[in-house]
Structure 1
């Protein structure tokens, strides 16, 4: 893991900011011509004033029009810079972007996203008001097409994502992680770089280190952003397998995780184990049947409710939930096993 930049802690002294801090926004991206201009437009329209914002786009070698769109963008920002990310993974892009950043506070935003006009202002105000090391808000997931809407519904349901409050919470409070967090500059100085040996757990892993260093993370419903999820179940499976593998790797390294991170892998292991045991044990057969019915019943009900809120198909929503759970669980086991094998 990347070592902290200093031996200091984030709770050594109050985290203060200037009256109008310069905000660095780091955007890691790869082949995002469909979304990058819209995101830049949303940042240019911030009521904080684009002259108080610098935008650093860390590109992993896009082969579409992404790089040209950034270079040709008519920038109202204090600075707009395109930097290279030769490793082509998200965490490396975040590090390359932060090496170029000069702001008093910094925000990481996925290129597959957009933000409300008050996103930066609300983030800065919350950072000042709370004295937290990082602040963020709930993310609105908006799907495109029938499958995309179902995926958005699944990703906005507690049954789909567990107690990841940033997916659906409406109340402010301290949490373990947030998406698109706004960090005090001192976080970078104390916690150091993102860990480039684990891709797929960038924010969660980093935020765990922030908390270990004495920082607090605040969720504020006034800070709103929108995320556009994958548009096919196959792409969703690849995404969640990567997420799971990252968490499995961290677990093998002794990093503490939340209970929600273990549930999918327990399902992936427990189902086949009970099926095998059920060949000789009636109790195991009954347990498997009961758990399957519970999953179908609770999942079906949750999918119906989530689909209704998002205008999605409930069957596709349930399929998206199951895809997320199975892919994440399998990825977790894969990452854990691979890390253990590498250490042997």
Structure 2
């Protein structure tokens, strides 16, 4: 099998990085392997953990990423790597044991440029479990194939990615001016260059999402802002589902405005009745939140279902608000502060 280079951007991941590295080093793969860790200026114990593990395995190389941003770290790691296949891994994810073997075979057998599989979110606390359930639900993140299941075949984008090195260099690696949504943008350029991005549901990755409400809100606000930046750059090439959260936020804003005007007596009775139609959007959304949260599968407590409702609303409204901010001013000044602050225990 061809050699593979795992590239991992790392910042403030003391809770997850050791398990992520161990899952990579334990891959059942009959080929050369190297692991390049792009280490950002962490404020927790991440650097100590990384360097301790690196000292025990010659396959690991640690490089510094002074710019912090994920695309910059990935490009630094790719530039230091040597193998013909490049495998992106997140520091808060764990590859299944056969991920590399199955992924490289899928890449070669299908003659494609990039292969990705399913992100299976998991949690360690009740609230993080609620976030994981939302990630795994079509209602949470819009039903992209890699959040659920589906048939193997060409895809718009891929989670993480198993790449042919020559294709990465052909399209110019990751765009370092994009801090969020870099995967989608890279895969768009890969497809525009005439290559195929492939989804393979046989590939599975465990993903550990943010574990506090504040970090979740900051993450999704930043993601929405950068999605808006991608809309500003690429327009209609973005999927329609990304416009739903900002429309939801706009209906909430409009509902509050109409309510204020009604309370101050600005509208006539007829105008007020007609304007009340705007409340249908938020009402239907609240109903959907309640129904979906109550119908989440599994032996869940009432608290678990309430957490799910809160998580869904936080993801959608934070994303939508961030999108509206990004459409107005772009994404250049937006930073995902859920990564730059040290993790906090619940």
Partner of 1:240: 220
Give the superposition deviation at 1:33: 2.0
Task: State the Cα distance separating 1:77 from its structure 2 match.
Answer: 6.5
By how many angstroms is 1:193 displaced? 2.4
After superposition, give the CA deviation of every residue in 1:99-122 in whole Å (9 maximum; x if it has no partner): 111111111111011111001111
Q: Give the aligned length.
A: 321
Q: How does 1:1-344 map to 2 (within 5 A)?
A: 20-49=1-30, 52-73=32-53, 79-255=59-235, 256-277=237-258, 279=262, 280=267, 281=271, 282-288=273-279, 290-306=280-296, 308=298, 313-339=304-330
Q: CA deviation at 1:340?
A: 9.4
Deviation at 1:191, TM superposition (A): 0.9
Task: Output one character per residue of 1:243-280: Cα deviation in whole Å (capped at 9) or x when no partner.
Answer: 11111112122342111111101111122224434633
Cα drift, residue 75 of structure 1: 7.1
Distance 1:131 1:170 in 2: 20
> The residue matched to 1:220 in structure 2 has which SS?
strand
Q: CA RMSD in A?
A: 2.2
Residues 216 and 334 of structure 1: CA distance in aligned 2, closer, same or farther (over 3 Å): same
Task: Note the residue ranges of structure 1 that are not aligned, 5 or more in a row.
Answer: 1-19
Contact 1:154 1:306 in 2 (8 A): no
Q: Distance in 1 between matches of 2:331 and 2:178?
A: 14
Partners of 2:329 and 2:173 in 1: CA distance: 24
Is the contact made by 1:52 and 1:77 (CA closer than 8 Å) also made in structure 2? no
Cα distance in 1 between the residues matched to 2:257 and 2:46: 50
Q: Which 10-residue stretch deviates more, 71-80 or 115-124? A: 71-80
Following superposition, the deviation at residue 184 of structure 1 comes to 1.0
Is the 2:54–2:60 contact (alpha carbons within 8 Å) kept by the matching residues of 1? no
Q: Partner residue of 1:10? A: none
**Cα distance between partner residues in 2 of 1:216 and 1:161:** 23
Query: TM-score w.r.t. structure 2 length?
Result: 0.87
Name the CA distance, whole Å, in 1 between partners of 2:191 and 2:296. 32
CA distances 1:319-340 after superposition (whole Å, capped 9, x unpaired): 1011001110111111121129
Compute the TM-score of the two structures, normalised by the length of structure 1: 0.87
Partner Cα separation in structure 1 for residue 83 and residue 14 of structure 2? 26
